[in-house]
Amino acid sequence: MKIALIGAGNVATHLGTKLVEVGEEVVQVYSRSLPKATELAKALGARPIDDLYGLTAKADLYIIAVHDSAIAEVLKKIEEIVVDKMVVHTSGATPAKVFEAAPDLVRTGVFYPLQTFTKERKVDFSEVPICLSAADETDLNLLELLALKLSTNVYKVTDAQRAWLHLSAVFVNNFTNHLFEIGHSCLKKQKLPFEMLLPLIQETVAKLDGGQPKLVQTGPAVRGDFSTVERHLTQLNGRGDLQEIYRVMTKHIKRTHADNWTH
């Protein structure tokens, strides 16, 4: 497949690298910044462009990996060039409705890799769940063939399922990481290294292997150990924001595990 990559950020970099690794041809890389497009294009053996009107009409697949808020704008700009070609975006949160911005495009779809990508950090793409959807069944099958070259975890999902996957990802990744930040700042104030928490964090994730987070929940909230909860809230005096998070989480754990301690 000849593929044009629109975007030169985290996802474009990881996806482009893997596509080339499995023998696909990335023909162009677009970024508004020519140095950024050039850097990625060079690594992928592609041609850099910084103007969407210079986009080739000869690719088989156009992958839009730009900020969610810029997808519609990009679609409008490329609509006339790529009119009968397959165009996908990589966003978990953006519904297929976004393609209405370019009504002439009919071969549209989504190629959402469910992972957290940072340019500089290596990711084992072969394990990344790739969530696919497409307006046309044949295109969906083509996307599936491509995705299976990149990963063993390929799923055909509806728009609604993808929206829930993305929301779940925010809970388990973004929010969890923010809780790590809070733990980090609490320890920093005590002049203790965050690394002390790493074995605990790693075991927390390792225990999820059974796919039943509810069964492995520990801590004062699930035990119904409310004197400890009160002590923690007192420790957080002066940090109303953290008390609020602590209360909300505790209340929710209590409610989810109510059957553990009400009888």
Ligand X SMILES: NC(=O)c1ccc[n+]([C@@H]2O[C@H](COP(=O)([O-])OP(=O)(O)OC[C@H]3O[C@@H](n4cnc5c(N)ncnc54)[C@H](OP(=O)(O)O)[C@@H]3O)[C@@H](O)[C@H]2O)c1
Binding site for ligand X (CB under 6 A): 7-12, 31-33, 36, 65-68, 70, 73-74, 90-92, 112-113, 115-117
Helix (H) or strand (E) holding 71: helix 71-78
Residue 88 CB, shortest distance to ligand X, in Å, is 11
CB of 8 or CB of 253, closer to ligand X? 8
Of 90 and 250, which has the nearer Cβ to ligand X? 90
* CA atoms of 208 and 237, how far apart (whole Å): 33
Looking at beta carbons only, is 73 or 136 nearer to ligand X?
73
Residue that the structure tokens 């969610």 belong to: 68
Beta carbon of residue 204, minimum distance to ligand X (angstroms, whole number): 21
Q: Which long-range contacts (CB under 8 A, 24 or more apart) does 95-99 make?
A: 95/159, 95/163, 96/133, 96/135, 96/159, 97/159, 98/71, 98/72, 99/75, 99/135
Minimal CB distance residue for ligand X: 9
Q: How far is the CB of 190 from ligand X (least distance, A)?
A: 32
55 touches 2 (CB < 8 A): no
| Closer residue to ligand X (CB): 25 or 39 | 39
Q: What's the gap between Cα 224 and its chain centre?
A: 35
Q: Shortest Cβ distance from residue 6 to ligand X (Å)?
A: 7
